[in-house]
Amino acid sequence: MEPTSSLTVACVVLAFAVGIGVTVATWDRPRWAWGRRITAVAACQLLLSSAVLLEINHLYDFVPTWSYLVGASPSAGTRDQPGRLDQRLYALAAGLRRPGHGVVLPWIFAGGHSGIIREAEVYLPAAYFDPGERTTAFPVLELFSGVPGSPLSWTASLHLGRVLDREIATGRVAPLVAVVPAINGGEFSDTECVNVVHGEQDDTYLTTDLRTALVRDFRIRRDRRGWAMAGYSTGGYCALNLAFRHPALYTAAASLSGNFAPYLDATTGALFGSSVRLEHANDPLWEARLGSVPPVALYLATAADDVGTVEQLRSFLAELRSATPPTIVIVASGGHSTGVWRALEAPMLDWLSAQLGSPAAARAPLR
């Protein structure tokens, strides 16, 4: 049972109920009365707090696995030597893969321009290992989590590999490579995927650096039609903003419950220093008001009762002047939660695949 499981929450709630019952039943026993009472009350409070925190985690997937909670994270390389898909790892990946299924690999990408080195999860479709496809370059989808969040939020909690396997098998999605990079320097850090003034250069890392590393390590398309972005919550804002800022690199972007402007508060700090120009340059809503939205296909989805996101979506659509209107999807309920993103995941992937170019011939056989 992972920390996002409803069964985990139910077990802790049951333990709390049992603890209350035992406490009441033994409250008047004279032996070690005060020590036992203090211990029982403390245990019940701990179980109640744990149940509340686990329920929040069940809704938002802050901590997707127990190993992630204690900081364990398998990697395909070291911080000093980022991974490459060499023959040994290729053979391992092919061996782990079940027939007709892709494989998810932990990876490390180093940014030559940003200086950032972070972990990621990479999905390779079954076709990637097909001997008949060894000269095929696959389209790429970059996926971003919310904050707090991690690459495992997509692969462990939203079951990205399983969903892509199913959608590819039905023909609704063409075989593609999906990469889920860490978008911040820490679990609770929030840089909104921008180049922070006097700070981390996340925009550069998630676009220029990640693209360079992926082209080096994997057999993928290099043209604009072969690349798209998507994310949920903060990751949805990241996908929109980065695609707007780099329209020559991406053909489409999808946002699930994402903001349309950078979220600035005490957790982010002054991302843009005192520069209003930089803040506006990272504000898709501002770009819409100026009428300067780039030619990037957009998929915008949320729940009807996610009030803040719906209000921003309406403002964005009211300002938008684009030859190609975005695709809008509103589910009836669910708020700002993982349940909504799970419901929207497959339709979003289907739509993105339709915008992306198909797998194409690579310039030369790779691995």
Lowest mean pLDDT among 49-53, 127-131, 168-172, 325-329: 49-53
Asked if the structure places residue 86 within a domain, the reply is yes
Q: Is 153 exposed, middle or buried (0-12, 13-18, 19+ CB in 10 A)?
A: buried
- Please tell me the pTM assigned to this model: 0.78
Q: Do 34 and 176 reside in the same domain of the chain?
A: no
Asked if the structure places residue 152 within a domain, the reply is yes
Q: Give the three-state DSSP class for 101.
A: coil
Query: What pLDDT, in 10s, does the model give residues 67-97?
Result: 544 444 444 443 444 555 555 556 566 666 6
Q: Do 107 and 184 reside in the same domain of the chain?
A: yes
Q: Where are the alpha helices (DSSP H) in the chain?
A: 6-26, 33-60, 66-69, 87-96, 151-152, 160-170, 202-204, 210-217, 234-245, 276-281, 284-290, 307-319, 338-355
Instruction: Report the candidate in 196, 188, 175, 112 with the shortest Cα–Cα distance to residue 145.
Output: 188
Domain boundary among 60, 88, 104: 60
Confidence of residue 352 (pLDDT cuts 50, 70, 90): very high
Q: Do 216 and 312 reside in the same domain of the chain?
A: yes
* pLDDT exceeds cutoff 70 at 186: no
Asked if the structure places residue 329 within a domain, the reply is yes
Q: Do 27 and 125 reside in the same domain of the chain?
A: no
Q: Do 287 and 322 reside in the same domain of the chain?
A: yes
* Total tally of structural domains belonging to the chain: 2
Query: What pLDDT, in 10s, does the model give residues 191-204?
Result: 999 999 999 999 99
Asked if the structure places residue 156 within a domain, the reply is yes
Asked if the structure places residue 335 within a domain, the reply is yes
Give the residue carrying structure tokens 């696959």: 138
Q: Do 71 and 56 reside in the same domain of the chain?
A: no
Q: What mean pLDDT is predicted for residues 114-138?
A: 92
Domain boundary among 14, 42, 60: 60
Query: What pLDDT, in 10s, does the model give residues 319-348?
Result: 987 767 899 999 999 999 999 999 999 999
Confidence of residue 185 (pLDDT cuts 50, 70, 90): confident
Asked if the structure places residue 205 within a domain, the reply is yes
Q: What mean pLDDT is predicted for residues 11-28?
A: 80
- The letter for the amino acid at 337 is S
Q: Do 27 and 88 reside in the same domain of the chain?
A: no
Q: Do 137 and 46 reside in the same domain of the chain?
A: no
Q: Do 246 and 115 reside in the same domain of the chain?
A: yes
Q: What mean pLDDT is predicted for residues 236-261?
A: 96
Q: Do 118 and 184 reside in the same domain of the chain?
A: yes
Q: What is the CATH number of the domain that holds 355?
A: 3.40.50.1820
Identify the pLDDT of residue 90. Answer: 60
* pLDDT exceeds cutoff 80 at 243: yes
Identify the pLDDT of residue 321. Answer: 79
Lowest mean pLDDT among 56-65, 126-135, 176-185: 56-65
Distance, CA of 56 to CA of 365 (rounded, Å): 47
Q: Range of 266's domain?
A: 66-361
DSSP code string of 228-280: EEEEETHHHHHHHHHHHH-TTT-SEEEEES--SS---STTT--TTTT-HHHHH
Asked if the structure places residue 298 within a domain, the reply is yes
Domain boundary among 35, 60, 85: 60
Identify the pLDDT of residue 73. Answer: 42
